[in-house]
Amino acid sequence: MTSPILVWALVAVQAFYLTSILVTLWFFLKPVNRVDRTAPLPADPPQIVLFYPVLNELEETMRTTFMSIARAPYPAGLVRVIGIPNSNDSGSVQALERLTTEFDFLEVMPVPPTTHPSWNAVWSSWDANPKAYWWHEGRRAGQRDLPPKKTRQLIWAMYQTAPDNRESLLSYIDADSAVPTDYWHTAAVGMESYDVVQNTNITGNPLATWPTAFYAMDHMSWDSSLYRHMTADGKHPFYVLGKGLFFRFSDLIELGGFHPWLTIEDPEVGMRLWTNGRRLGVVESPLVEEVPATWAQGVTQRKRWVAGFFQSLAQPLTSMGMRPLDRFKARLNFFPTLSLAFNPVGWIVGIIAIVAMIRSAGAAFPLWVAVLSAVTLLLAAVLIVARWLSSWTLLRDVMPSRARRLLYLLLVNPVFMLGYWLWWTVPIAIGFDMWRRDRGLVWERTEKRDANHRLVREDRSTTTVSEVTHREAA
């Protein structure tokens, strides 16, 4: 019989691995609240404002995004698309101003430093709003020197445009986002039933490099699959994906807008909305994004995600008024990601236990240890293979070629995915350290290469939202 210490160490590993699997299965059992994509547009469709925060982006990348926006029909005059670069980002400001000559729906509002008088609209609103808890408590209470990043741009733009748009919908996307053609339509329909509408996300460049293949699987496994179960009939704390989503201006103003002292705004703002009674609906019409092309840039992007979740799931949950049980459920949202790097460990330990049992004819470990390992590995295999096979369908819109999809499945086969999940220990460790050291508040840009251009086919030199609308009506 093997040493009891070794037996219990093996049991601890398998028990943790089984717990992580059961948490993931628990999420998949939750109901999904979908927006009906076939429903007609409301008789009185809402005004929509889309913010476009950018930093040192290629003009070609931005043009591709605006081409996709132009192909999304909606009644003329009801959509505003506003580029919000930092005022000192002269390259982005000039590129956006040039693009206004091609896309007549585009406006440009450079975001000034926080010393500019226009920021008084933010400070006065936060002064009167206890929901903006970061402004009233903690070591950064009342601090105006907000870190230069996407969240700061969104805050300024929201409070500048809010007086004329309190009943409008607010959306924002990243520089590389290609929106689906029903983007505005499903938002208007979804907001009839929900308070937040979130489109799923998928990657448009899955075969650009070997790293992009694995990053694309991340988005299909979470953004287009598990995430939709966060809707859960409004009974589970949700986060948002940081692009391709819609709020009401009035809700954001009432709840204090965006928290500026977090690496990413996505988890906290969603959970604050849920804590205050707002419900989420998901649109299974994916926004297409571009993932990093290298391993190093993948670490840059994912370490920020990890840091942002650690930050959001600590003191902010208490400060926003979330109850203890709900705080526990909110933290479970992050558990499947944290446990990614444990997949290879769980498999190796489980296989060792089963092989040792077989070779020793049951003398190495008690039978129940082998059974625990076998059940754990079986459930893990079901989840892994199901995710892997689902990519065949999810990739159909961005990769219609069956041969290319088959190549993709070969590149990200389950064995290779175990190795990739071990790689996740790097961004998890760095992100944890960023949280502990209070780092990551300045925007650290992920390079975009206009990888989605081929997916947005240009059939005329200039097209506007209103032109597309009139063409569709005709």
pLDDT at 8: 83
The reply to whether 253 and 114 lie within a common domain is yes
pLDDT at 293: 94
> For residue range 221-263, what is the model confidence (pLDDT) as tens digits?
999 999 999 999 999 999 999 999 999 999 999 999 999 999 9
pLDDT at 463: 38
Domain that holds residue 13: 4-26+342-423
Is residue 474, in this structure, part of any structural domain at all?
A: no
Could you give the CA distance from residue 211 to residue 427 in angstroms, rounded to a whole number? 14
pLDDT at 81: 98
Decide the pairing of beta strands 280-289 and 196-203.
parallel
Q: Which residues of the chain have pLDDT under 50?
A: 458-474
Is residue 405, in this structure, part of any structural domain at all?
A: yes
Residues 225/182, Cβ–Cβ less than 8 Å: no
Give the CA distances from residue 110 to residues 150, 157, 330, in Å, rounded to whole numbers and listed in that order: 13, 9, 35
> In the chain, how many domains are there?
2
Could you give the CA distance from residue 65 to residue 69 in angstroms, rounded to a whole number? 6
CA 202 to chain CA centroid, nearest Å? 10
Give the CA distances from residue 99 to residues 241, 330, 363, 456, in Å, rounded to whole numbers and listed in that order: 27, 41, 73, 16
The reply to whether 175 and 38 lie within a common domain is yes
Is residue 107, in this structure, part of any structural domain at all?
A: yes
pLDDT at 120: 98
pLDDT at 1: 52
The reply to whether 15 and 64 lie within a common domain is no
The reply to whether 165 and 226 lie within a common domain is yes
Residues with Cβ within 8 Å of 293's Cβ and at least 6 positions away in sequence, in order, are 205, 208, 209, 211, 212, 447, 449, 451
Is residue 433, in this structure, part of any structural domain at all?
A: no
The reply to whether 281 and 401 lie within a common domain is no
Is residue 328, in this structure, part of any structural domain at all?
A: yes
Residues with Cβ within 8 Å of 441's Cβ and at least 6 positions away in sequence, in order, are 147, 149, 261, 262, 263
Q: DSSP assignment of 420-456, as one string?
A: HHHHTHHHHHHHHHHHHTT---S--PPP---TTGGGS
The reply to whether 256 and 136 lie within a common domain is yes
The reply to whether 293 and 238 lie within a common domain is yes
Domain of residue 223, CATH code:
3.90.550.10
In which element (H, E) is residue 251 found?
helix 249-255
The reply to whether 374 and 240 lie within a common domain is no
Q: Exposed, middle or buried by CB within 10 Å (0-12, 13-18, 19+), for 91?
A: middle
The reply to whether 298 and 405 lie within a common domain is no
Q: 238: helix, coil or strand?
A: coil
The reply to whether 278 and 296 lie within a common domain is yes
Is residue 190, in this structure, part of any structural domain at all?
A: yes
Could you give the CA distance from residue 353 to residue 348 in angstroms, rounded to a whole number? 9
The reply to whether 132 and 164 lie within a common domain is yes
| Closest by Cα among 286, 105, 55 to 178 | 286
The one-letter amino acid at 174: D
Is residue 13, in this structure, part of any structural domain at all?
A: yes
Is residue 123, in this structure, part of any structural domain at all?
A: yes
The reply to whether 410 and 318 lie within a common domain is no
Could you give the CA distance from residue 213 to residue 19 in angstroms, rounded to a whole number? 28
pLDDT at 2: 63
Q: Where are the alpha helices (DSSP H) in 74-209?
A: 90-99, 120-127, 133-136, 150-161, 183-190
